[in-house]
Structures are given as structure tokens and as C-alpha cells.
Amino acid sequence: MIQNIILIDVRTPEEFQNGHFPNSINIPLHELENRLNEIDRSKIIVTLCRSGARSEQAKSILIKHGYNSSNGGAWSVFNENK
């Protein structure tokens, strides 16, 4: 199942560099629609951000473009549980 999932962190590159979920890729929210060609449509896309707000927006964009997407929520929640 994990092979069928892509984690997309939609925070800024600076936020991403300060810590991110292992194996996630960084596509900032403001770049997402211009970078859809980088995302494999056959995978389940899980979006992440700091608070959950941008990842929800990203999920909506991906679904609008025909991707199977789920909001993974807030990086801060994962980061607190280290």
C-alpha cells in the first residue's frame, strides 16, 4: 500500500528544509497547478502542510484535476510526536 502513496508537502521550501515527513516531496501550494505533470495519477496523493489549511486547498486542486487525493493534515502534529 505504501508504494501507492505519494506524500506532497505544500509548504514553502524554507518550511520544508526546517523539517519534513520522510519520503515526502515539496511542491509549494502556489506552484501546484503548474507542476501537476510531476505527479503520478496512478498513486494516492496525501497532502501535508504546517496547519492543515494549505493541504486542504491542495487536496481540492488535485481532485479537481482528477487525482485521488487525501488531506494528510498538519506537519506540526507529526513533528510534535517525534
Q: Which position among 45, 49, 58, 62 bears the catalytic label?
A: 49
- Give the whole-angstrom CA distance, residue 2 versus residue 15: 24
Let me know if 74 is a catalytic residue: no
How many alpha carbons fall within 13 Å on the CB side of residue 59? 17
- Give the whole-angstrom CA distance, residue 47 versus residue 65: 15
Residues that are catalytic: 49
